[in-house]
């Protein structure tokens, strides 16, 4: 059923560059009436994944789908693989040295999460046949240069190569993992435990976890940073009215920005340039959303849930009734019309409209 609705979208041909083909197709039961594990706001996101490519998630009538936006051509491609329902939400991660991974939060009827892997920014996919179940957290997937990592809930993180037939569980972490982020040679986990938050790093060569930082009574958010062929992790934190950002390159934390704010930390964001990558934070204010980084603070449109800057384009994404806004804030252009039209069309096809 779900495969047919995907193929209907490909036939529709809305100004989208390519529909993904899935080798070793995963099939799974439909998720009739199942609510997403995470909110619409938290699942609507945009991230830089390398080259001229930005991945984004969009929602319409309860269906969560993945698109690739090319920042050079300013066009979007529908890249959700066929055969899998995104009604419970999707999570993804990318490492240009390995590829990209897309996972589907399990429906009530599933004991595992369908996970697929790509080497071409999502225009073709291969199934990862493992029996892991993604935790209901925002950043449940991560990639090193060799391995896929999946947060399974509590202090459990599982790992395996894209072609593995089974994943192994890493030594458990004390507390609850609230996000994982890839490094070239391992993974970083943000762990909440007994009123504090700890950032732990797993090194593949030593197969052990080590503590990177500890925050007491502080809101902490993470972000993947793609710096050429190097993977780094952004850590944003808020304590009282102070908000700060640091970048972990696998060896040490380096300060990125620090600012005073009256708002609430909502997430870490990145600015990718030819000279490297910088870090910022989204801060929710009563009147809207601010971007805070090393250059200061500026207002974004109300409702923005995610932001990324790369090259000459600054993209913010915000959900609204039955669609999204995908706005280049530097040029005040909304690119979401054909994305929303594409999703609405296949929802109609699936529902028999």
The model's pLDDT over 138-194, given as tens digits with 9 standing for 90+, comes to 899 999 999 999 999 999 999 999 988 889 999 999 999 999 999 999 999 999 988
pLDDT at 26: 38
Record the tokens describing residue 170, joined without a space: 């890493």
pLDDT at 275: 75
Q: Say if 323 falls within a structural domain.
A: yes
Q: Quick check: helix, strand or coil at residue 153?
A: strand
Q: Quick check: helix, strand or coil at residue 110?
A: coil
- CATH number, domain of 201, equals 2.130.10.10
Assess contact for 139 and 181: CB atoms under 8 A: yes
For 242-258, the DSSP string reads EEEEEEE-SS-EEEEEE
Domain boundaries, position 197: 2-30+41-350
Q: What is the domain count for the chain? A: 1
Q: What is the pLDDT of residues 77-109, one digit of tens each?
A: 889 888 777 878 899 999 999 999 999 888 766
Quickly tell me which residue has 């979208």 as its tokens.
9
Higher pLDDT residue, 130 or 210? 210
For 47-76, the DSSP string reads EEEETTEEEEEEEETTEEEEEEEETTTTEE
pLDDT at 24: 34
* Residue 25 confidence class, pLDDT cut points 50, 70, 90: very low
Exposure string (b/e) for 312-335, b if CB count within 10 Å is 16 or more? ebbbbbbbeeebbbbbbbeeeeeb
Q: Say if 78 falls within a structural domain.
A: yes
Q: Lowest-confidence range among 59-63, 135-139, 244-248, 323-327?
A: 59-63
Q: Say if 36 falls within a structural domain.
A: no
Q: Torsions phi, psi of 346, nearest 5?
A: -75, -25
Q: Say if 70 falls within a structural domain.
A: yes
Q: Say if 276 falls within a structural domain.
A: yes
User: What mean pLDDT do residues 48-76 have?
Assistant: 88
pLDDT at 84: 78
Q: Are strands 296-300 and 124-128 parallel, antiparallel or unpaired?
A: unpaired
pTM of the model: 0.88
pLDDT at 254: 95
Quickly tell me which residue has 């005040």 as its tokens.
332
Does an H or E element contain 139, and which?
Answer: none
Rounded (10°) angle between helices 2-12 and 337-350:
140
Q: Say if 121 falls within a structural domain.
A: yes
Record the tokens describing residue 11, joined without a space: 């036939």
Q: What is the pLDDT of residues 258-290, one digit of tens each?
A: 999 999 999 999 998 767 889 999 999 998 999
Q: Say if 259 falls within a structural domain.
A: yes
For 167-213, give the secondary structure using H, E and C.
CEECCCCCCEEEEEEEECCEEEEEEEECCEEEEEEEECCCCEEEEEE
Q: Say if 35 falls within a structural domain.
A: no
């Amino acid at each position: 059923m779900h495969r047919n609705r995907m193929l209907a979208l490909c036939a529709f041909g809305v100004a989208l560059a390519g529909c993904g083909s899935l080798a070793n197709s995963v099939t799974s039961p439909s998720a009739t009436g199942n609510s997403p594990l995470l909110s619409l706001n938290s699942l609507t996101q945009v991230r830089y994944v390398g080259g001229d490519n930005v991945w984004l998630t969009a929602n319409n009538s309860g269906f969560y789908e993945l698109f690739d936006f090319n920042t050079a051509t300013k066009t979007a491609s529908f890249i959700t693989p066929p055969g899998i329902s995104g009604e419970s939400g999707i999570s993804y991660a990318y490492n240009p040295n390995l590829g990209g991974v897309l996972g589907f939060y399990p429906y009530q009827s599933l004991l595992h999460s369908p996970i697929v892997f790509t080497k071409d920014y999502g225009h073709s996919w291969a199934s990862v046949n493992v029996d892991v179940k993604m935790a209901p957290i925002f950043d449940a997937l991560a990639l090193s240069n060799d391995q896929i990592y999946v947060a399974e809930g509590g202090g459990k993180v599982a790992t395996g190569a894209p072609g593995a037939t089974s994943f192994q569980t890493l030594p458990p972490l004390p507390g609850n993992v609230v996000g994982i982020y890839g490094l070239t040679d391992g993974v970083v986990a943000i762990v909440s435990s007994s009123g504090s938050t700890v950032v732990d790093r797993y090194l593949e060569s030593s197969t052990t976890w080590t503590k990177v930082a500890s925050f007491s009574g502080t809101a902490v958010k993470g972000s993947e940073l793609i710096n050429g062929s190097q993977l780094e992790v952004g850590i944003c934190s808020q304590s009282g009215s102070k908000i700060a950002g640091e970048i972990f390159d696998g060896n040490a934390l380096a300060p990125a920005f620090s600012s005073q704010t009256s708002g609430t930390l909502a997430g870490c964001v990145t600015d990718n340039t030819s000279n490297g990558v910088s870090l910022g934070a989204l801060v929710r204010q009563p009147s809207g959303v601010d971007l805070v980084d090393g250059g200061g603070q500026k207002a974004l449109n109300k409702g923005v849930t995610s932001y990324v800057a790369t090259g000459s384009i600054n993209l913010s994404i915000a959900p609204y009734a039955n669609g999204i806004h995908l706005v280049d804030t530097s040029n005040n252009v909304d690119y979401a019309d054909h994305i929303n039209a594409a999703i609405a069309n296949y929802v109609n096809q699936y529902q028999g409209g």
